[in-house]
Amino acid sequence: MGIRLLIASLIIVGLAAVGVAKQDELLQWIDPAREPQFTPAQPGQAEQPGTEQAGARSDAAQQDDHGGQNPSAGGAEADDAASPAEPEPPTADEGEVVTVSNVQDVMVVVNKRRELPADYVPPDLVAPDIPFSFSGDAPKKLMRAEAAKALEQLFAAAAAEQIELAGVSGYRSYARQQEIFNWNAQQQGLEEANKTSAIPGQSEHQTGLAMDVSSPSVGYALVEEFGETKEGKWLAEHAPRYGFIIRYPKGKEAITGYSYEPWHLRYVGVKAAQEISEAGLTLEEYLGLAGNEGSKTKG
């Protein structure tokens, strides 16, 4: 006991010469019941190496949305990418959202006020025989049979006039749309995502009647500049002859609820397409449906 007290006295005398960081260690040796004190990590301190970011995903996974389409990044691989954590989707800005019942009608209207059932899958999906901006099989190559046949005729007419077009994104399931919306919400926040991608059930792609189209002149991207190219202008002029309309025309955002998309073709049949185009109407106006003021999402 006397020896231990002597050693303790010597240590206390020498504390002034010992770094502060060592004091607790030495005193713990004297009193084993004493716990060493640790300095907590400070806010902003780097995480341990090897930590992965949740939901990390390549840009190719966003190919079904607008802009930046990379034809080599298309394909089924991007569609099979893991989906990020699911946020709670926002509700419609104003008014009541109804579930449409005429899902098989080629004139069906789908937007932020009118949505498809979550389990709806068109029964007659086929892949049109047209060039695509990506290789391999993927559900987004599909369209309903009537629309697919009409699209083949449209592309044949374009090729005959040396207009090079390519399909980018057709049918999209409810689940796939959920993945896309979740990804955008994770990256941009819910409010911003609601301006650039459709909430599941509110995308025209689920009808099987829509196809996003682009060209090499814009790198197969889905961008507004496509409307100013010779291919985009040709498409807007000739699409109605084959039953297609530019679904979201410029200057009609307050009516459709969707921003201008010169790449988004929607099949409605030849008669309706020509009448809509000649009158400069939207599908909502043609059918006498209320607009979607305040909505800016895409379909």
Q: What's the confidence (pLDDT) of residue 52? A: 24
The confidence score (pLDDT) of residue 63 equals 45
Q: How far apart are CA 219 and CA 211, in angstroms?
A: 17
Contact status, residue 65 vs residue 180, Cβ threshold 8 Å: yes
Between helix 230-238 and helix 145-160 the angle, nearest 10°, is 130
Separation of alpha carbons 212 and 169, rounded Å: 5
If you ran DSSP here, which 8-state letter would residue 293 be given? T
Q: What sign for the dihedral angle of Cα 112, 117, 118, 122? A: negative
- What SS3 class is residue 161? coil
Residue 166, token pair as written in the block: 């390519």
How would you classify residue 55: left for phi > 0, otherwise alpha for psi between -120 and 50, otherwise beta? left
242 contacts 151 by C-beta, under 8 angstroms: yes
According to DSSP, the residues that pair with 245 across neighbouring strands are 266
Dihedral of CA atoms 21, 26, 27, 29 in degrees, nearest 10, equals 140
User: Could you tell me the residue ranges of all domains in the chain?
Assistant: 59-287
pLDDT at 7 (0 to 100): 43
- Which CATH number, 2.30.30.90, 3.40.50.720, 3.30.160.100, 3.30.1380.10, labels domain 59-287? 3.30.1380.10
Residue 174 backbone zone (phi > 0: left; psi -120 to 50: alpha; other: beta): alpha
Taking a C-beta distance cutoff of 8 angstroms, is the pair 235, 270 a contact?
no
| pLDDT score of 258 | 79
pTM of this prediction exceeds 0.75: no
- Please name the residues in contact with 79: beta carbons below 8 A apart, sequence gap of 6 or more: 64, 138, 139, 140, 176
Cα distances (angstroms) measured from residue 79 to each of 12, 154, 172, 237? 69, 27, 10, 32
Whole-angstrom distance, CA of residue 32 vs CA of residue 46: 33
Nearest to 198 by CA among 64, 59, 56: 64
Give the residues of the chain that fall short of pLDDT 50: 1-63, 65-93, 291, 293-299
Q: What is the pLDDT of residue 4?
A: 43
Q: Which residues are catalytic?
A: 261
Count of helix runs (H) and strand runs (E) in the chain: 10, 8
pLDDT value at position 197?
A: 78
Report d(CA 85, CA 268) in Å as an integer.
36
Would you state the pLDDT for residue 192? 74
Task: Name residue, tokens 């050693």.
Answer: 7
Beta strands 210-214 and 166-169 are antiparallel
Q: Which amino acid is at 36?
A: P
Sorted by sequence, the CB contacts under 8 Å of residue 133 that are 6+ apart come out as: 69, 71, 74, 166, 167, 168, 214, 220
